[in-house]
């Protein structure tokens, strides 16, 4: 490639190679970190001191285009709206609306059309929000950049950058493009949004190995990351879609948009229902014609059966139940962006969680202080300077140990950051590590402001990567000299310390081996360890140099980590009890991930097993096939150094294994996996806009415990949806059976189509929808997750539906025939039959408050909406029976007490029959458990 380039002696040949799709492009893109800075500049025909000239910039802008992520077109608004109607259940409803309109029942037709329209509008609005994900990703890279062009430093929009531009970086800058660093001075970059690294990364311009993973490429700075400290200079090697952020944009667009388990099950249920309804209607028409009845009458009978079998209230019930779930989750700090996501959480079998900020507090916290061989532990988490510091196994004050006291003072005084209280939350302005040192000193009672007044800083040696330490000189309160404090890497500090401070304040020879053992023990717990030292300089000293950093007195060590959230530990345990497995997928180091996983109680196998979590890194999984990854993803609990591609592959592997996957994340690197997951969960406080737009749910408190609460709410939502379906289907089936029975027997229809619509619409709204407000049952988080492949209705529930349908058939058809036999008109007999249907539904509603328990176990008044709905239904049904206007519209007539007591008896009998069926099933289930326990080997029961 170099020979070709020198022959052409023009940048345009290089550009053509770079933009060409193929292996050469991949080779060039992947070699930047493995190429020396001088060679990179030469390849890009740039100059590290003068940059590009004007005409070269213009030519490259024309060739490469703007430094922005291109937005991909999708279906237009009209198409997106029309696609909302592309659902089998809505086909059924639209058919019902057309049929009712043909029957001149315009009010009912408008109601059904209204239900369909509301569902379509809600779906369209939710989908429109999701379409903004790529736009948000593009916005994250729009900023200004300081570049060297024509030998001058200029500020230009980041969109105008081209490959070969020389960019200057300083603290506070957002990196505008992918850069190969040419020079750096103490440069630190926060790459957490891209890689998941929990602390800023030190950057250098050295050449790295070819196989160095993205998170460890110290000589590269990537678009959308943030400079937290120092200065640097780099040459642009990739812009727009060719950047790492651009690749993530590509992954987002390639991620599959999956149907939720609920939408899949509802769609399958609707297709089956549609086929059954059409077959029954056809059979009804054919049998009637075969028996010699008029074709028009048989057509109307078939229409009546179809209208009766269609559950018109189901879409409205689904929408309202999900909306109630959304409101409940909002109260528990979870904002749902897409309605079906509410139920998806309830069916989740695996939660893949990012570590930083979700399972942990995303605030570095000092956990251990080691001074003169004594270990102190600090309680509390984050930057809030409250907590206790106690000696391990002893209730001893830390300040009584002179070495520990000076260790804490060194961390506080040798510090360029500060903590501020903003909106009741402590935040760090500066380096997270220094914020942790300030917080732990505050727990010991030290005040940074007071110390700054008493011992003002006189001079500083800032941290430099080549020296690996920082030093500050302070005026001492006494006149014995000036105090020098030094903090830095353990090996560097130890090499400059011949002696150590003891707990009593004396000095003694430094035991380096003992310190190394202490460091290894702290590192094994995933702690990042810093060493602290100092000495007293003459009173006349006002300036310090690197020559003064020698013959130091060693104070001690401080070990820090981004600690687990206390509530996350309990939430993970609750998830495992509920049969939901939790996996950690992080961009952080394997050792840190392993330590956090142990503290959280992750296991990676079936919940309840106890063993050390296995950790797999991106490098470990680089050569695995998709089939191998499916098994690994299911068995392993912790994945470290995860790239966006690996996160996406892991989610797909778990889905291929049959899991319903919830994925949490906050960074740009999480967005593809968030979109691929069955439900993506983004962080509301620390999350990027890209992650929020790609997610289905946003946590307003960035807390994993909120996910556990949302899973509980999701299970409640699915429970209530199932209860509604189990309650409503017997009515539809019963109405159909009554029509079929009348056709086969050859008698008049016991109920008319308009009466069927009255039953279905009024009872669905006033009775069925009250189940959406049913509180969660106490044992909901003690159940295993639902099998994603199982249908909405189990065999037991289908049996119950058939049982209640037969009760309706016998009750309604028998009452109709009884009324005819008593000499009543067909209108009165039909009114009796309609009231039988309504009363059976009313009594059966109390059975459906729980699928397994009696309503007395739940509490009669635990859902006051039930009482309100029942009262409203009774008023409407009395109006249906006795108000003249209603009699004319619905072909009803007043009935006497001799009919009412039969109607009420049928309803009460239904409640008793279903209650007895529940009792039998509980007894049978208990018997099976007892038999299994008796059959178990001794000690295993």
Among all residues, which ones are annotated catalytic?
354
Secondary structure (3-state) at 376: strand
Cα 114 to its chain centre, rounded Å, is: 33
Strands 469-475 and 457-461: antiparallel
CB 370 within 8 A of CB 424: no
User: Which residue is associated with the tokens 């200004």?
Assistant: 144
365 DSSP β-pair partners: 561
- In terms of Cα–Cα distance, which of 669, 832, 744 is closest to 243? 669
Secondary structure (3-state) at 58: helix
Instruction: Count how many Cα atoms sit within 13 Å of the Cα of residue 243 in the half-sphere of its side chain.
Output: 35
What distance in Å separates the CA atoms of residue 413 and residue 457, rounded to the nearest whole number? 8
CB 164 within 8 A of CB 214: no
Joined tokens for residue 430: 């500066």
Joined tokens for residue 33: 């970190």
Joined tokens for residue 291: 């028996």
Helix or strand run (H / E) with residue 485: strand 482-488
- In terms of Cα–Cα distance, which of 81, 191, 77, 68 is closest to 134? 68
What distance in Å separates the CA atoms of residue 378 and residue 400, rounded to the nearest whole number? 15
Enter the DSSP assignment of 347: T
Strands 201-202 and 178-190: antiparallel
User: Which residue is associated with the tokens 């060590």?
Assistant: 557
Report the interhelical angle of 826-847 vs 753-766 (nearest 10°): 30
HEC sequence for 105-166: CHHHHHHHHHHHHHHHHHHHHHHHHHCCHHHHHHHCCCCEEEEEECCEEEEEEHHHCCCCCE
Sign of CA dihedral 185, 190, 194, 197: positive
Report the interhelical angle of 261-290 vs 295-309 (nearest 10°): 160
CB 472 within 8 A of CB 460: yes
Instruction: Count how many Cα atoms sit within 13 Å of the Cα of residue 385 in the half-sphere of its side chain.
Output: 22
What distance in Å separates the CA atoms of residue 236 and residue 29, rounded to the nearest whole number? 12
CB 402 within 8 A of CB 504: yes
Enter the DSSP assignment of 658: T
Report the interhelical angle of 704-745 vs 261-290 (nearest 10°): 0
Within 291-398, where are the H helices? 295-309, 313-331, 341-346
Residue 688 CB coordination number (10 Å)? 24
CB 839 within 8 A of CB 907: yes
- In terms of Cα–Cα distance, which of 670, 668, 643, 663 is closest to 139? 668
Phi-psi region of 45 (alpha: psi -120 to 50; beta: other; left: phi over 0): left
CB 773 within 8 A of CB 848: no
- In terms of Cα–Cα distance, which of 342, 364, 382, 349 is closest to 681? 342
From edge to edge, which strands make up the β-sheet containing 697-699?
334-336, 697-699, 679-683, 661-665, 350-353, 581-585, 638-640, 615-617
């Amino acid at each position: 490639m170099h020979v070709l380039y020198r022959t052409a002696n023009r940048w345009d040949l290089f550009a053509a190679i770079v933009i060409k799709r193929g292996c050469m492009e991949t080779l060039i893109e992947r070699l930047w970190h493995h190429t020396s800075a001088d060679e990179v500049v030469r390849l890009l025909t740039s100059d590290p001191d003068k940059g590009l000239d004007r005409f070269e910039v213009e030519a490259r802008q024309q060739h490469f285009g703007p430094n922005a992520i291109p937005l991909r077109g999708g279906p237009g608004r009209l198409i997106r709206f029309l696609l909302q109607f592309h659902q089998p259940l809505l086909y059924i409803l639209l058919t019902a609306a057309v049929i009712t309109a043909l029957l001149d029942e315009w009010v009912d037709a408008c109601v059904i059309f209204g239900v369909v329209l509301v569902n379509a509008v809600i779906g369209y609005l939710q989908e429109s929000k999701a379409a903004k994900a790529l736009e948000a990703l593009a916005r994250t890279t729009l900023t200004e950049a300081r570049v060297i062009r024509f030998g001058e430093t200029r500020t230009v929009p980041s969109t105008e950058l081209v490959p070969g531009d020389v960019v200057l970086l300083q603290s506070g800058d957002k990196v505008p493009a992918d850069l190969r660093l040419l020079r750096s001075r103490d440069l630190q970059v926060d790459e957490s949004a891209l890689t998941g690294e929990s602390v800023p990364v030190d950057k250098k311009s050295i050449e790295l190995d070819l196989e160095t993973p993205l998170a460890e490429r110290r000589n590269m700075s990537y678009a959308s990351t943030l400079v937290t400290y120092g200065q640097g200079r780099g040459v642009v090697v990739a812009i727009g879609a060719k950047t790492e952020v651009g690749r993530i944009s590509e992954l987002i667009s390639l991620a599959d948009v999956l149907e939720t388990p609920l939408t899949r099950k509802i769609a399958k249920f609707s297709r089956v229902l549609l086929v059954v309804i059409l077959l029954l209607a056809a059979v009804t028409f054919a049998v009637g014609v075969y028996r010699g009845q008029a074709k028009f009458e048989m057509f109307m009978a078939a229409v009546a059966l179809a209208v009766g079998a269609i559950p018109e209230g189901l879409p409205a019930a689904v929408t309202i139940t999900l909306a109630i779930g959304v409101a409940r989750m909002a109260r528990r700090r979870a904002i749902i962006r897409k309605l079906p996501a509410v139920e998806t959480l309830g069916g989740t079998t695996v939660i893949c969680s990012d570590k930083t900020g979700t399972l942990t507090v995303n605030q570095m916290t000092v956990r251990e202080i080691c001074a003169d061989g004594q270990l102190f532990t600090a309680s509390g988490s984050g930057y809030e300077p409250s907590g206790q510091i106690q000696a391990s196994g002893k209730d001893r004050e830390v300040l009584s140990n002179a070495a520990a006291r000076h260790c804490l003072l060194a961390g506080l005084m040798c510090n360029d950051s500060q903590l501020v209280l903003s909106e009741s939350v402590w935040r760090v302005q500066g380096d997270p590590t220094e914020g942790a040192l300030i917080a732990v000193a505050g727990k010991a009672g030290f005040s940074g402001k007071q110390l700054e007044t008493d011992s003002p800083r006189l001079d500083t040696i800032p941290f430099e990567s080549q020296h690996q330490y920082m030093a500050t000189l302070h005026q001492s309160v006494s006149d014995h000299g000036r105090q020098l404090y030094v903090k830095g890497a353990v090996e560097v500090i130890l090499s400059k310390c011949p002696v150590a401070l003891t707990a009593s304040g004396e000095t003694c020879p430094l035991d380096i081996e003992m310190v190394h053992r202490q460091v290894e023990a702290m590192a094994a717990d995933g702690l990042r360890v810093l060493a602290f030292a100092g000495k007293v300089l003459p009173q006349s000293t006002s300036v310090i140099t690197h020559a003064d950093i020698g013959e130091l007195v060693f104070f001690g060590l401080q070990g820090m980590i981004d600690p687990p959230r206390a509530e996350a530990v309990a939430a993970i345990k609750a998830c495992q009890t509920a049969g939901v497995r939790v996996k950690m997928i992080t961009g952080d180091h394997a050792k840190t991930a392993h330590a956090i996983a142990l503290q959280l109680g992750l296991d990676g196998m079936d919940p309840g097993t106890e063993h050390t979590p296995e950790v797999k890194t991106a490098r470990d999984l680089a050569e695995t096939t998709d089939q191998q990854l499916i098994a690994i993803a299911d068995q392993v609990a912790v994945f470290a150094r995860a790239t966006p591609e690996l996160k996406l592959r892991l989610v797909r592997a778990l889905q291929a294994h049959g899991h319903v996957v919830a994925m949490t994340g906050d960074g740009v690197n999480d967005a593809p996996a968030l979109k691929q997951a069955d439900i993506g969960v983004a962080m509301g406080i620390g999350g990027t806009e890209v992650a929020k737009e790609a997610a289905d749910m946003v946590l307003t408190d960035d807390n994993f415990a909120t996910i556990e609460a949302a899973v509980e709410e999701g299970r409640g939502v699915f429970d209530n949806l199932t209860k509604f379906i189990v309650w409503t289907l017997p009515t539809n089936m019963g109405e159909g059976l009554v029509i079929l029975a009348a056709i086969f027997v050859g008698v008049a229809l016991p109920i008319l189509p308009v009466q069927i619509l009255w039953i279905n619409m009024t009872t669905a709204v006033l009775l069925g929808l009250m189940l959406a407000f049913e509180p969660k049952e106490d044992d909901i988080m003690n159940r295993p997750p639902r099998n994603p492949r199982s249908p909405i209705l189990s065999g037991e529930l289908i049996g119950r539906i058939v049982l209640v349908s037969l009760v309706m058939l016998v009750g309604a058809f028998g009452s109709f025939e009884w009324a005819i036999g008593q000499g009543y008109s067909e209108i009165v007999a039909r009114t009796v039959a309609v009231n039988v249907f309504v009363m059976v539904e009313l009594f059966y509603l109390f059975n459906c408050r729980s699928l397994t328990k009696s309503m007395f176990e739940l509490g009669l008044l635990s859902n006051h909406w039930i009482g309100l709905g029942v009262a409203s239904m009774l008023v409407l049904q009395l109006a249906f029976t006795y108000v003249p206007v209603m009699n004319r519209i619905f072909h009803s007539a007043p009935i006497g007490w001799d009919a009412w007591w039969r109607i009420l008896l049928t309803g009460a009998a239904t409640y008793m029959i279903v209650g007895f069926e529940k009792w039998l099933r509980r007894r049978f289930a208990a018997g099976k458990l007892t038999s299994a326990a008796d059959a178990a080997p001794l000690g295993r029961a």
